[in-house]
């Protein structure tokens, strides 16, 4: 005999399947065409969705289309897709600089604009006004509360986090973040949609840093503290974590790759959100960001970066004499 809990669960699943069947998912709007936005647009388009890629900057959109084309060339060269698949993928993407034009038929919006609370809240206030009532609004934010974003809309049940990883076409994980009021129906649909993109979604609740950054950022910060205290040098710290813990990349190299400004701002979100001094950013990280040493994107962080070279060279500041 089935117990009540089991029956409730079954009823819930049937109910949810019934509801999600009624929500179609065909037109996707991606807001922001930077590192993440172009990867998200690429990934949906390759699976046959109609994608509107939106950015306030026309040059950013041009650059994004060139990046997507180059990334598709790489997959064609590997034999994973054909030239015809590449052409079909590109054809599925239309670019817009005016948000209202890009989202007017959207079933799902995935916002991947600059990580700034005011920018994101303004975008969601606007989306509430210009999107059809059925549109699900997702954010790819790394650290901003989904509940806070949802609160500026009148559809908090349809606001959710869809946290893709960089590089999006390659990385399997989508951290699906349920805001305080996100409905089961919308969560199930986003989990299902993520699977249709050949990704592996993981459902988490909306607390500062979610799961990925709540664990990753303190580890990166601890690696910086270890360097700052002189326990070991840049290469030594990264080598211990690569060879000892089987991490594909050391934490200091990963910090450079993510951007030290981004790491600092996520540490601040953790410290503000949990009020625990264990999340205080290392003063060395603060100094590096203040000095404009932001990692790969600025040419200098824990390592130095020269265009056209893939060699990993420790930044002069951290070289042993």
Ligand X SMILES: NC(=O)c1ccc[n+]([C@@H]2O[C@H](COP(=O)([O-])OP(=O)(O)OC[C@H]3O[C@@H](n4cnc5c(N)ncnc54)[C@H](O)[C@@H]3O)[C@@H](O)[C@H]2O)c1
The residue ranges that bind ligand X (CB under 6 A) are: 31-37, 54-57, 60, 112-115, 119, 123, 140-142, 163, 166, 258
Cα–Cα distance between 155 and 124 in angstroms, integer?
10
DSSP-derived secondary structure for 52-97 = EEE-S-HHHHHHHHHHHHHHHHHHHHHTSS-HHHHHHHHHTEEEES
Q: Which is nearer to ligand X, 115 or 235 (CB)?
A: 115
Q: Which is nearer to ligand X, 76 or 121 (CB)?
A: 121
Minimum CB distance to ligand X, residue 140 (Å) = 4
Distance of CA 140 to the CA centre of its chain: 5
Minimum CB distance to ligand X, residue 107 (Å) = 19
Minimum CB distance to ligand X, residue 103 (Å) = 11
Cα–Cα distance between 284 and 227 in angstroms, integer?
9
Q: Which is nearer to ligand X, 16 or 254 (CB)?
A: 254
Minimum CB distance to ligand X, residue 108 (Å) = 16
Task: Report the residue closest to ligand X, judged by CB.
Answer: 34
Handedness of CA 149, 151, 152, 158 (dihedral sign): positive
CB 143 within 8 A of CB 265: yes
CB 110 within 8 A of CB 140: yes
Catalytic residues: 142, 163, 175, 213
Cα–Cα distance between 176 and 190 in angstroms, integer?
8
Q: Which residues contact 246 (CB under 8 A, 6 or more apart)?
A: none
Q: Which is nearer to ligand X, 20 or 106 (CB)?
A: 106
């Amino acid at each position: 005999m089935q117990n009540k809990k089991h029956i409730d669960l079954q009823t819930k699943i049937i109910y949810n399947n019934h509801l999600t069947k009624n929500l179609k998912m065909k037109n996707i709007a991606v807001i922001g065409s930077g590192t993440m936005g172009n990867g998200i647009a690429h990934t949906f388009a390759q699976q046959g969705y109609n994608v509107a890629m939106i950015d306030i900057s026309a040059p950013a959109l041009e650059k994004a289309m060139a990046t997507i084309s180059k990334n598709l060339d790489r997959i064609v060269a590997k034999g994973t897709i054909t030239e015809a698949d590449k052409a079909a993928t590109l054809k599925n993407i239309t670019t817009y600089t005016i948000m209202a034009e890009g989202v007017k038929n959207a079933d799902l919006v995935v916002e991947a604009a600059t990580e700034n609370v005011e920018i994101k809240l303004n975008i969601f206030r606007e989306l509430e006004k210009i999107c059809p009532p059925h549109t699900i609004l997702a954010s790819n934010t790394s650290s901003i509360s989904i509940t806070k974003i949802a609160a500026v809309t009148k559809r908090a049940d349809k606001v959710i986090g869809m946290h893709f990883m960089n590089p999006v076409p390659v990385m399997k994980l989508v951290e699906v973040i349920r805001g305080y009021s996100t409905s089961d129906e919308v969560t199930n649909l986003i989990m299902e949609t993520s699977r249709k993109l050949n990704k592996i979604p993981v459902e988490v609740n909306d607390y500062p840093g979610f799961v990925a950054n709540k664990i990753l950022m303190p580890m990166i910060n601890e690696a910086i503290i270890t360097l700052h205290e002189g326990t070991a040098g840049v290469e030594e710290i990264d080598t211990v974590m690569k060879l000892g813990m089987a991490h594909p990349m050391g934490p200091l190299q990963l910090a450079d790759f993510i951007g030290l400004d981004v790491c600092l701002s996520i540490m601040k979100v953790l410290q503000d959100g949990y009020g625990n001094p264990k999340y205080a950013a290392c003063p060395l990280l603060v100094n590096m960001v203040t000095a404009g040493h932001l990692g790969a994107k600025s040419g200098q962080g824990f390592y130095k970066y020269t265009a056209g070279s893939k060699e990993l060279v420790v930044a002069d500041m951290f070289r042993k004499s």
